[in-house]
Structure formats: structure tokens, C-alpha cells
């Protein structure tokens, strides 16, 4: 049980956080690693930091490329990865020094091709020394490992608090087979934000079953300038496109329950984007997307009367939808 594990770090404009991230990876209690540092044309001091680590540690493999985005940086690492297992780490985050060892043991001992851990959000300037915070109060010595099917794991996407664990690329250990679908490699989509939404569900399904380690071992840095923060609500197209692809995928694999969950989330997402965006052209586009989803997917399924009325009301107009939703909420509250 000492297989090579590849760790892939895409790097762009993270000079302030990069050393803390790389130090936390190189300090892992599981040492048989290749650490691929992909400098995606970063204009700051990151390229020099990458070369400095490569000169000091033979496990570090540097890649310098013209800026092509997060997806292509991850793909560059995937194309040269030699490990039987793969870990993705975002280069502004920090991982617990035991994370890879614990994920590996959880996967191998339970015959799984994927494992994941819980995510701890940290402040922008926390843990810049790369050292893990004291989380003994949250991580118990007898932390439970749940072994779940790929369908159950996909279902995490539609549960409160579970969606981030399921969707993101970076709290997971993947067997290399998880990046193969129908004999072809799975890569992250070029030029898309919310790229995990296009990819993670396919890797999870390919895994067959997943070991879920109930420990906070991945530290996710909350940065005001991150891709997710900057593009929240503005670039809605990729999020909705990924949702359409997930629905088609679940239909193909006869996962009706997951299909219904995704359909429900897709329609709620369109309404949510509509409520946040004031641009007229974008609103018209969102209304069209909603009508297409309603006519081609929603009305073909069985829904409670209240939901059918509420979804239909949005086609009439957003004010009508808000009014119907308000009365439905008051009715449900009185009923309880």
C-alpha cells in the first residue's frame, strides 16, 4: 500500500498563498507523491516559486504554460500524471498533513476508487504558514467512514451542505480510472467557469462507490478576488449548461431520481439568476431557457399541484411567481 499519488496544483496569481499550499502538500505523512505545479502563465512571482520548489524537492514537477485558464492547467497535469491515484489542490488553499494518507487508506481499505473529506472554510489571511489549525473539536479520533454508491454520492449535490463536498474537484482522492468514461479520458472544459460542474459528477459515477471520510482535512480559503466570487451570478451560462449536461447524463444512465433532482435545481437556479440579474437581454435569455426547460422536461414529469402552478406562474411573469410563492409559503406555514 504505497502506490504513487499525483497531486496537481493549477497556479495563477496566488503568490501570497502559494508557499503555504505547496508546503502543506510536501509535508504530507504519505510521502510517495509526484507534485505537478502548473504555472498557468502567472504574471507575478509564482513562476519563480515553482522553480524554487522543483530545485529543492525531486517530487516536484514544474510546468510553465501560456495562460489558458484553470481547466487547461488541471488538464496539463492530468496528461502527464504517472500516479495510480490523483489529488487536485487549488493553489490558494491548504490541506491537513494527514489528508492524502487518510483518503488513501479509506479508499483502499474499503475497495473504493474515490474518497473525499470534509471542507473547512478559512479566512483569506489564515494559515499562511501552511500549518493546519487545531481542529480536534471537529475531527474525532474515531471519525466515521461512510461507503456509498455513486448514485448516493451524486445525490449529495442536492442536499443542503453536501453539494460542495460532491461538486468540487479538490477535496477528493481519485483512482486514475475515475478520469475515464467510455474508454475516453475525462478532461475539464476549456474556457468555462464552474468547470467542476461539468466534470465531478462523471468522475464520481465512474468510481462506482466512494469512501466519505467525516473529517475536516481540506482548508478552503475565502478570497474576495476568487473566480467564484468575481463571477457569481454574472456568468450564469456555464452553470446552466452544466446542469443540462447532468440531466442528459442521468437520463442516459437511467438515474430518474437524480434527473428529477437536477431538473428541480435547474429551474430554481434559472429563477434565482433572473432575480439577481437586471440586464434586460440576460433576463430575456433566462426566460427563454426556463420556457424550454419547462416545455421539454418539466411538464413530462409528475409534480405536486402547488409546484406546477408556481412554475407556470414564472412564465406569466416574475411578479406573479413571487406572489404565488408568498401565498404558498403562508399556506404551508399555517398548515404546520
CATH number of the domain to which 158 belongs: 3.90.550.10
My answer on whether 122 and 253 are in the same domain is no
Segment 50-99, tens digit of pLDDT:
999 999 999 999 999 999 999 999 999 999 999 999 999 999 999 999 99
My answer on whether 226 and 247 are in the same domain is no
Mean pLDDT across the stretch 117-136?
77
pLDDT value, residue 280: 93
My answer on whether 254 and 209 are in the same domain is no
| Count of structural domains, the chain | 2
231, 249, 269: which is the final residue of a domain? 231
Residue 88, classified by CB atoms within 10 Å of its CB into exposed (0-12), middle (13-18) or buried (19+), is buried
My answer on whether 151 and 282 are in the same domain is no
My answer on whether 226 and 241 are in the same domain is no
Which residues constitute the domain of residue 277? 237-335
Would you list the DSSP string of 284-334?
HHHHHHHHHHHHHTGGGS---HHHHHHHHHHHH-HHHHHHHHHHHHHHHHH
My answer on whether 15 and 161 are in the same domain is yes
CB 100 within 8 A of CB 173: yes
Q: Can you name the residues that pair with 115 across neighbouring β-strands?
A: 173, 211
My answer on whether 148 and 266 are in the same domain is no
Look-up: residue for cell 440579474?
277
Determine the Cα angle at 18 with ends 13 and 24, to 5°.
155
My answer on whether 136 and 244 are in the same domain is no
Mean pLDDT (the chain) is 91
What the block records as the C-alpha cell of 5 is 499519488
My answer on whether 64 and 149 are in the same domain is yes
What the block records as the C-alpha cell of 137 is 473539536
pLDDT value, residue 137: 46
231, 250, 271: which is the final residue of a domain? 231
pLDDT value, residue 331: 55
208, 231, 254: which is the final residue of a domain? 231
**pLDDT classification of 332: cutoffs 50, 70, 90:** low
Whether residue 224 is predicted with pLDDT greater than 90 in this model: the reply is no
Segment 143-185, tens digit of pLDDT:
789 999 999 999 999 986 677 788 999 999 999 999 999 999 9
Nearest to 36 by CA among 77, 93, 83: 77
My answer on whether 162 and 298 are in the same domain is no
My answer on whether 10 and 137 are in the same domain is yes
Whether residue 276 is predicted with pLDDT greater than 70 in this model: the reply is yes
Whether residue 119 is predicted with pLDDT greater than 50 in this model: the reply is yes
My answer on whether 93 and 220 are in the same domain is yes
Amino acid at each position: 500500500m504505497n502506490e504513487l499519488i499525483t497531486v496537481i496544483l493549477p497556479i495563477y496569481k496566488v503568490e501570497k498563498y502559494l508557499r503555504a499550499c505547496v508546503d502543506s502538500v510536501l509535508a504530507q505523512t504519505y510521502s510517495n507523491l509526484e507534485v505537478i505545479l502548473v504555472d498557468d502563465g502567472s504574471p507575478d512571482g509564482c513562476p519563480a516559486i515553482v522553480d524554487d520548489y522543483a530545485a529543492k524537492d525531486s517530487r516536484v514537477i514544474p510546468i510553465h504554460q501560456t495562460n489558458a485558464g484553470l481547466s487547461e492547467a488541471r488538464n496539463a497535469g492530468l496528461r502527464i500524471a504517472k500516479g495510480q491515484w490523483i489529488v487536485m489542490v487549488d493553489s490558494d488553499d491548504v490541506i491537513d498533513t494527514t489528508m492524502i494518507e487518510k483518503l488513501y487508506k479509506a479508499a483502499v481499505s474499503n475497495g473504493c476508487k474515490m474518497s473525499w473529506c470534509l471542507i473547512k472554510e478559512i479566512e483569506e489571511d489564515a494559515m499562511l504558514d501552511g500549518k493546519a489549525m487545531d481542529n480536534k473539536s471537529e475531527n474525532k479520533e474515531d471519525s466515521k467512514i461512510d461507503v456509498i454508491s455513486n448514485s448516493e454520492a451524486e445525490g449529495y449535490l442536492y442536499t443542503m451542505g453536501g453539494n460542495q463536498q460532491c461538486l468540487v474537484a479538490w477535496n477528493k482522492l481519485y483512482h486514475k480510472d475515475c478520469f475515464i468514461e467510455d474508454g475516453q479520458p475525462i478532461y475539464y472544459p476549456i474556457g468555462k467557469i464552474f468547470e467542476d460542474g461539468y466534470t465531478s459528477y462523471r468522475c464520481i459515477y465512474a468510481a462506482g462507490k466512494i469512501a466519505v471520510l467525516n473529517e475536516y482535512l481540506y482548508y478552503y480559503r475565502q478570497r474576495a478576488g476568487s473566480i467564484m466570487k468575481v463571477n457569481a451570478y454574472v456568468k450564469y451560462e456555464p452553470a446552466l449548461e452544466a446542469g443540462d449536461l447532468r440531466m442528459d447524463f442521468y437520463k442516459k444512465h437511467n438515474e430518474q431520481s437524480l434527473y428529477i433532482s437536477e431538473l428541480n435545481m435547474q429551474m430554481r437556479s434559472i429563477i434565482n439568476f433572473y432575480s439577481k440579474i437586471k440586464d434586460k437581454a440576460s433576463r430575456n435569455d433566462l426566460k427563454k431557457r426556463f420556457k424550454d426547460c419547462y416545455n421539454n422536461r418539466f411538464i413530462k414529469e409528475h409534480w405536486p399541484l402547488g409546484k406546477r402552478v408556481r412554475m407556470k406562474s414564472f412564465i406569466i411573469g416574475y411578479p406573479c411567481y413571487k406572489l404565488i410563492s408568498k401565498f404558498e409559503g403562508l399556506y404551508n406555514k399555517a398548515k404546520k
